[in-house]
Structure 1
Amino acid sequence: MARKKIEYRSPVYDIRAVPVERVVANSYNPNIVAPPEMKLLELSIWEDGYTMPCVCYYDAGRDVYELVDGYHRYMVLKTSKRIYEREKGLLPVAVIDKDISFRMASTIRHNRARGSHNIELLSEIVSELSRANMSDKWIIRHVGMDKDELLRLKQITGLAELFADKEFSKAAVSEEALEEELEAVF
């Protein structure tokens, strides 16, 4: 019996024009853009228009589009009178349908492909994903970081809580043995 091939269609082929008032920011985006770059983004959108849609999750319960990527493009539409008027208050949005852990990972991937992060907020996301029972392997794979970076971020937010599911010996161990143990964790 042949398996039915499932066709995949990227969200970018179904862009929606959403009133900006129905779009809300997520609570976990660690990306920061300095004021000069925000002015440049506003100029870019003024000169070129929106060339990239924002990525959102549609929350049917609240009837809102929650941002996954594109917070700063969204803010330009909200704060620039000339762009708001020209765009008639509509924000181009591509919709993804993923649970919160996958949306968090998606936000990080989008941001990391373009710029830098606030380390404190990124560490908090790693904590949230760990508390949501996402494994270290899952975080490394889906967020796009290496094991050393994950370890550093976990250390920032509280080593004990984030390593609660790991077994560690109380005996003194050599540096080599510790490296091997960390290799096994990651």
Structure 2
Amino acid sequence: MEESFLSPVYNVRRVPIKKIRTNAYNPNSVAPPELKLLEQSILTDGYTMPIVCYYIAEEDVYEIVDGFHRYKVMKQSKVIAERENYCLPVSVIDKPLSERMASTIRHNRARGTHSIDLMVSIVKQLVEAGVSDEWLNENIGMDKDELLRLKQLSGLMSLFKEEKFSEAWETEELI
């Protein structure tokens, strides 16, 4: 890594919530009791971690990479939204879509659960975009068996293009 690299968290921005939008690929879910706990945490402690976004200059919007539930809490809590002046702390990363998807999964896997259907969809999108199995294993923390199971769940043959299968065998004819 470059010596001049500075983690995005050192440049947190205060962004109006109306300029923030969700992404279409987040497979993470939080059960209602945990979401209520997150709301209580934010009510009590404030926002202690920024949400992670990708800035889309052409639209002047920030797309969430990580922190959807912190965003959701503000959208649902008038008390929090007013207290925070309808702004969220945002840390910006500048990466292509495949890297943002991988980042979302890494953040989520470190602390949450995933929807299998959305995980299958993400793997399908990444494989169709030309990402290798090795890249998926390394960048979203899946082992080979887990990736194979997700591909099997998709039912799409195209996802198996990198898999090595043994030659078919023939039976001896019984006389």
Instruction: Work out the CA distance in 1 between the residues paired with 2:17 and 2:160.
Output: 41
The two structures have a TM-score, normalised by structure 1, of: 0.87
Asked if 1:13 corresponds to 2:41, the answer is no
Identity, in percent, stands at: 60
Deviations 1:120-152 (A, max 9, x none): 111111111101100000000000110000000
Match of 2:139 among 136, 142, 155: 142
Deviation for aligned residue 1:34: 1.0
Aligned to 2:125: 128
Equivalent residue, structure 2, for 1:30: 27
Instruction: For residue 102 of structure 1, report the CA deviation from its aligned partner.
Output: 0.2
Aligned residues: 169
Give the drift of 1:61. Answer: 1.3
Give the Cα–Cα distance (whole angstroms) in 1 for the partners of residues 134 and 155 of structure 2: 19
Cα shift at 1:170 = 5.1
Q: Deviations over 1:82-117 (max 9, x none)?
A: 000000000000000000000000000000000111
Q: Which runs of 5+ in 2 are unaligned?
A: 171-175
RMSD of Structure 2 on Structure 1 (CA):
1.5
Equivalent AA in structure 2 for residue 124 of structure 1: S
Counterpart for residue 81 of structure 1: 78
For 1:122, give the aligned amino acid.
M
Which letter maps to 1:30?
P
**Which residue in the other structure is 1:45 paired with?**
42
4+ residue segments displaced more than 6 Å: none
- Counterpart of 2:6 in 1: which secondary structure? coil
Query: Secondary structure at the residue paired with 2:113?
Result: coil
Q: Distance in 2 between matches of 1:22 and 1:110?
A: 22
1:54 equivalent in alignment to 2:54: no
